[in-house]
A and B are shown apart, each in its own frame.
Chain A
Amino acid sequence: MAEAVSKVKELAEKRKVGVRVESGTTKACLKCRWGIEDPTDPSKGQCIGGHRTGMGGIWKRMIHDYYNTTCDHFEEGEVDFRDHV
């Protein structure tokens, strides 16, 4: 089982496609057009970039620290609701 868990965690890491915590970053997910607040706790967030499904849909990833997480795909702005879930 340990091997299996390790594989799954590796996959989870791969799904993050470079998403990383950088304390005090000026390019936080909070400001990114691909970021949206967590449905319950606005100090967390969701990334809607990354994967698009065959139907044009979105495979989200959770951002645990919305103010201090960033990645190389940062783009300032906002996504229109029609391009969202």
Chain B
Amino acid sequence: MAIRHKPIEYKGKSIEFPYENPAEETIEDEYLHESLAKPTTERTKRLKARCRWKHTAAGEFVESSVRAGMERMRYWTEGHKASDGNKEVLRRANCLKTLLDKCTVVLQEDELIIGYHAEDPSMIPLYPELSFLATQDYIQSPKYAPQPVEEAQEINNYWMKHSLLSKCMPYFEPHEMGQMFQVSSMEAPSFATGYNSIVPPYETVAEDGLLKRIELAQANIDKAKAELAAPHWNAPERLPLLEKIDVWNSMIIADKAVISWARRHGRLCKIVAENFETDPKRREELLAMSEINQRIPAEPCQGLWDVMQMKWYVYLLCHALERYASGFAHKEDKLCWPYYKASVIDKTFQPMTHKDAVELFECERLKCSEHGAGKSRAYREIFPGSNDLFILTVGGLNRDGTDGCNDCTDAILEAARNIRTTEPSIMFRWNPKGRLKTKRLVFECVRDGLGFPSIKNDELNSHQMLYYGRFSQNNNGATPEEAHDWANVLCMSAGLVGRRKTQKTRSEGGGSIFPAKIMEITLNDGYDWSYSDTQLGPNTGDPRTFDTFDKLWEAFRTQYQYAMSLVIRAKDVSRYWEGRVLQMPFVSSIDDGCMELGRDANELSEQPNGWHNPITTVVAANSLVAIKKLIYDDKKYTMEQLLDALYANWEGFEEMRRDFVNVPKWGNDDDYADGVIKKFYEDIIAGEMRKITNYSGGPVMPVGQAVGLYMEVGSRTGPTPDGRFGGEACDDGGISPYMGTDKKGPTAVLKSVSKVDSTTQKANLLNQRLSVPIMRSRHGFKIWLAYMNTWHDLNIDHVQFNCVSNAELLAAQREPEKHQDLIIRVSGFSARFVDISKYGQDTIIARNEQDFGAEDFDFLNVNADDLV
């Protein structure tokens, strides 16, 4: 039986909390989430049951059937070798053409959206041109190595001198590479891991179709050639046209190859329909799909089925075929709305019901769930329980300032609630104008324990797009209308969506820095004694000699600035070479800016969007508070004593550790702790970062978050002055309190977080865990809505929720096979609970389940008369 929440006395009333759905009172708490999945159709139920999940944990794939494919690396390399001597941008186009012309096309039973990026849906593609180190890791694995392994090794050897990594390495000293590669104070550079993110301009393909893009490129070539041939030759003006002509030609090669590849899928549908399919209904579907794939993406989309298939093809191209990139960045409801309207409301093309639309979105979720990437080991470690960071965006406002929520938004949310998959995650842009009906669906997803939508402050982030636009190097940053068109690029950070000005590479924004480890080495003159036994940062002195807290503060600042400058330099060196050896002819062809200017998508930057992710900030911040209080203010201990305790991992110093644990911690609305930590966020974490100018000419701002790095970095970080033991996990998200230390309820957390000026940060992740019996009660939505309105009024950037009981989590640890549908929010992504390690599971269980009391209701302005 489910346990009801106890009555709460509030404003003279005793508030009862019966379940909103009385039938749930008979379901045991331990199995609640196994009862919530309700696929909309039998088709999506079957697709989910046979989905080939690509979840990873601890650097390994959870499903034993996953292997690395050979086709992508084979055909990409073949295309590169065959075009030796050509301009690199044309070679890249030829690589894509060779791959798309020769790769296996995949069609699976029941699917309405088709296409896969390897020769078998159990396989993942590899990217030796990005990182031969990451590829080598697969090749030497007996479980995953592509076959034949000798051919794979030969291909990888070829790329050792041609890859992005080999181009970038000469600009760094060996010790700098070593410091970055070990992922303890800094994330390894993307030129070493191949990790990337992108915001594809889907809109141009939906609205124009690729045939139109080819026409545009050809017209630009014709115009440029006419200019070259005009009288009165002017070399400085006209020679740059040569490179532009190469870029436009590469676009044409790429787009023609894409059209041909899509039509191969169409022909396969037709062959199966006419020769093999015995079910007349499925035969009809296959013939319809054949027609769609003949037409899309060559021509503009006309209906919802069109746009869903187009999106999947563009996704595969931008995220898996032309280059690997994580993410699923787009504002899905805005992009799909015209086609939803045509199909569901007006029924002018591909007529269907709302339920049919929900089924299509469920199909898309299952395509994402089956998608796998040839990520490096680091990224197989740090998104445990998921396959990759698929995050789409809905809600917010339209360009004209009207509510952006519509029936398509609702279909996307209903699909997520019904099918229950970890991917893709959803971010909802919270605006006071957002309609209540849609916010109710957001609540239902949260209440059902999906961990998403995560929620971001709409106005704050639209203003941010305008701020970054000011630094545009070609004076073409976001306009006030375009500033409404943003989505999360990956977990947390906003970026423009639309026909141009979108982010094309992670060297613009992304990558992490780890303040907890930096705190540790600040106490050791830059030396890392606890993991790598190396000098990890500059010499900043013996902390025993720091006679004031300010000296420690400044030593930390020096260590942090060293790491920040190194990682941003690495990103910009990468960006420099991406534009020269990693051009993306297809992506360039679908961006209006690249098309107009004849420039590659890596190289052109119209809207700066620089950021980097401080992860484990709160461990460092709580440590500084503890040191300030016990060593410098109260003088209860000396720095010498603290270091001795840390070197002993607190063993033999239990009483002293208790004192350090008991110093006020972040998230309790404590002015002493919050005063130090606010300054830490604004002066150092953001202040030092913003002194840096990146490739695009704009500042770099902090996006505090965690992914699974709070576990990995925790395991590489020794004991810290907040009382943490060596190897224990760090804090689970940007501005979230350390697990279990927020002891004064949900509103105290909001008050602490709101003290940090949100405009000084680009984003900051706030993880909260909500009481299951309150959220599932008949008052759940009203209380949550009051919480959200207060959160918004406090001008906080972000919040996301776990809504799952410890009883259920502990039951899943005991019997994982019975809890396959149990999803939890780790940090910027959701995971299947049983697909993560016990170490990770315990960090979720340790988070405080925030109960609500009368004081909270009062602060949130909950109306007692509504709780009847």
Scoring A residues 4 to 20 as 1 if CB is less than 8 Å from chain B, else 0, what string do you get? 11011101110110000
1/0 contact string of B162-203 vs chain A (CB within 8 Å): 000000000000000000011100001000110000000000
A85 & B381 in contact (Cβ 8 Å cutoff): yes
> How far apart are B565's CB and chain A's nearest CB, in angstroms?
20
Cβ of A62: which chain B residues have Cβ within 8 Å of it?
Answer: 182, 531-533, 716
Q: Decide if A8 touches B527 in the complex (CB within 8 Å).
A: yes
Residue of B nearest to A7 (CB): B647
Of the candidates B181, B376, B842, the one whose C-beta lies within 8 Å of that of A56 is B842
Residues of A within 8 A of B688 (CB): none
Q: Which residues of A contact B58 (CB under 8 A)?
A: 36, 79, 81, 84-85
- Complex alpha-carbon distance, A5 and B718, angstroms: 16
Q: Does B667 contact A (CB under 8 A)?
A: no
Partner of A11, one of B136, B647, B715: B647
Q: Which residues of A contact B712 (CB under 8 A)?
A: 39, 85
Q: CB of B728 within 8 A of chain A?
A: yes
At the interface, yes or no: B57 with Cβ under 8 Å from chain A? Answer: yes
Contacts of B733 in A (CB 8 A): none
Interchain CA distance A34-B62 in the complex, whole Å: 18
B544 in the interface (beta carbon within 8 A): yes
- Among B532, B840, B842, the one with the most A-chain Cβ atoms within 10 Å of its Cβ is B532
In the complex, the answer to whether A36 meets B527 with C-beta atoms within 8 Å is no
**Chain A, 13-55, CB within 8 A of any chain B CB:** 13, 15-16, 36-42, 44, 46, 48, 51-55
Cβ–Cβ contact A58 & B647, under 8 A: no
Would you give the 0/1 interface string for B703-719, flagging 1 where the beta carbon is closer than 8 Å to chain A? 00000000110111010
- Residues A50-71 near B (CB distance < 8 A): 51-62, 64
The reply to whether B527 and A37 form a contact with Cβ atoms under 8 Å apart is no
Does B140 touch A at the CB level, under 8 Å?
Answer: yes
Complex Cα spacing A39 to B718, Å: 18
A13: min CB distance to chain B, Å: 8
Residue of A nearest to B712 (CB): A85
A35, chain B: closest CB distance, angstroms: 12
* Contact (Cβ within 8 A) A58 B541: no
User: Do B381 and A39 touch (CB < 8 A)?
Assistant: yes
Q: Are B842 and A4 in contact (CB under 8 A)?
A: no
Given contacts A85-B381, A85-B837, contact A59 B533 (CB under 8 A): no
B839 touches A58 (CB 8 A): yes
B195 to nearest A CB, angstroms? 10
Q: Are A1 and B525 in contact (CB under 8 A)?
A: yes
Q: Is A83 on the interface with B (CB-CB < 8 A)?
A: yes
Do A59 and B527 have beta carbons less than 8 Å apart?
A: no
Q: Which residues of B contact A79 (CB under 8 A)?
A: 58
CB neighbours (8 Å) of A4 from chain B are: 525, 542, 544
Q: With A39-B377, A82-B838 in contact, do A55 and B846 touch (Cβ < 8 Å)? A: yes
Is B726 at the interface (CB under 8 A from chain A)?
Answer: yes
Nearest CB in chain A: distance from B264 CB, A: 36
Q: Which residues of B contact A44 (CB under 8 A)?
A: 181-182
| B residues less than 8 Å from A8 (CB atoms) | 524-525, 527, 529, 647
State the CA gap A60–B647 with chains docked (Å): 15
Residues on B with beta carbons closer than 8 Å to the beta carbon of A55: 728-729, 839, 842-843, 846
B352 / chain A contacts, CB cutoff of 8 Å: none
Q: Using C-beta atoms within 8 Å of the partner chain, give the interface range for chain A.
A: 35 or more
B residues in contact with A64, CB < 8 Å? 532
Would B727 and A1 count as touching, CB distance under 8 A?
Answer: no
**Cβ of B530 under 8 Å from chain A:** yes
Q: A21 to chain B: closest CB distance in Å?
A: 13
List, in ascending order, chain B residues with CB within 8 A of A85's CB. Answer: 58, 381, 711-712, 714-715, 837, 839-840
Minimum CB–CB distance from B354 to chain A (whole Å) comes to 40
**Which of chain A's residues has its CB closest to B135's CB?**
A42
Among A16, A39, A42, A60, chain B packs the most CB atoms within 10 A around the CB of A39
In the assembled complex, the CB of B63 is this many whole angstroms from the nearest CB of chain A, namely: 11
Give the distance in Å from the alpha carbon of A41 to the alpha carbon of B133 in the complex.
6
CA distance A77 to B530 in the complex (A): 25
A5 touches which of B62, B181, B527, B726 (Cβ 8 Å): B527
Interchain CB contact (< 8 A) of A57 among B525, B530, B842: B842
Q: How far is the CB of A32 from chain B (nearest CB, A)?
A: 15
Closest to B530 in A: A15
Q: Kindly list chain A residues whose C-beta atoms are within 8 Å of the C-beta of B846.
A: 55
| A37 and B59 form a contact (CB under 8 A) | yes
Whether B137 is near chain A, meaning CB under 8 Å from some CB there, is yes
Q: Name the A residues within 8 Å of B716 (CB-CB).
A: 46, 60, 62
A51 to chain B, nearest CB (A): 6
In the complex, the answer to whether A58 meets B715 with C-beta atoms within 8 Å is yes
Q: Establish whether residues B530 and A59, one from each chain, have CB atoms under 8 Å apart when the complex forms.
A: yes
Cβ contact within 8 Å between A42 and B527:
no
Measured CB to CB, the closest approach of chain B to A49, in angstroms, equals 12
Please tell me if the beta carbons of B726 and A12 are within 8 angstroms of each other in the complex: no
What residues of B have a CB within 8 angstroms of the CB of A53 in the complex? Answer: 725-728
Interface assignment of B378: CB less than 8 Å from any CB of chain A:
yes
B120 in the interface, Cβ–Cβ < 8 Å?
no
Q: How far is the CB of B371 from chain A (nearest CB, A)?
A: 20
Tell me, yes or no, whether B572 is within 8 Å of chain A by CB: no
Assess the A42–B728 pair: CB atoms within 8 A: no
Contact of B376 among A40, A81, A82 (CB under 8 A): A40
- Output the least CB separation between A26 and chain B (Å): 17
Chain A nearest CB: distance from B247 CB in Å? 32
Nearest-neighbor residue (CB-CB) of B708 within chain A: A85
Closest CB of chain A to B143's CB: distance in Å? 9
At the interface, yes or no: B60 with Cβ under 8 Å from chain A? yes
Question: Do B524 and A81 have beta carbons less than 8 Å apart?
Answer: no
Expressed in whole angstroms, the minimum distance between the Cβ of B723 and any Cβ of chain A is: 11
A81 close to B533 (CB less than 8 A)? no
- Taken residue by residue from 99 to 134, chain B's Cβ proximity to chain A (1 for < 8 Å, 0 otherwise) reads as 000000000000000000000000000000000010
Q: Which of B182, B544, B843 has the most C-beta atoms of chain A within 10 angstroms of its own C-beta?
A: B182
Cα(A24)–Cα(B711), bound, Å: 33
| Residue numbers in B under 8 Å from A38 (CB-CB) | 181-182, 377
> A57 touching B728 by the CB < 8 A rule?
yes
Q: A36 to B136, Cβ gap below 8 A?
A: no
Q: Which residues of chain A have C-beta atoms less than 8 A from B837's C-beta?
A: 81-85
Nearest A residue (CB) for B650: A54
Which residues of chain A are near B378, meaning CB under 8 Å?
A: 39-40
Q: For A16, what are the chain B residues with a Cβ–Cβ distance below 8 Å? A: 533
User: A59–B58 Cα gap in the complex (Å)?
Assistant: 14
Within 8 A of A (CB), among B375-390: 376-378, 381
| 10 CB < 8 A contacts A-B | A9-B533, A12-B527, A15-B529, A37-B137, A37-B377, A40-B376, A55-B728, A56-B842, A59-B725, A85-B58
Given contacts A9-B533, A59-B530, A81-B57, 6 further A-B contacts (CB under 8 A): A16-B533, A38-B181, A39-B181, A42-B377, A57-B727, A60-B531
- Seen from chain B, the residues whose Cβ lies within 8 Å of a Cβ on chain A are 57-60, 62, 133, 136-137, 140, 181-183, 188, 192-193, 376-378, 381, 524-525, 527-533, 541-542, 544-545, 647, 649, 711-712, 714-716, 718, 725-729, 837-840, 842-843, 846
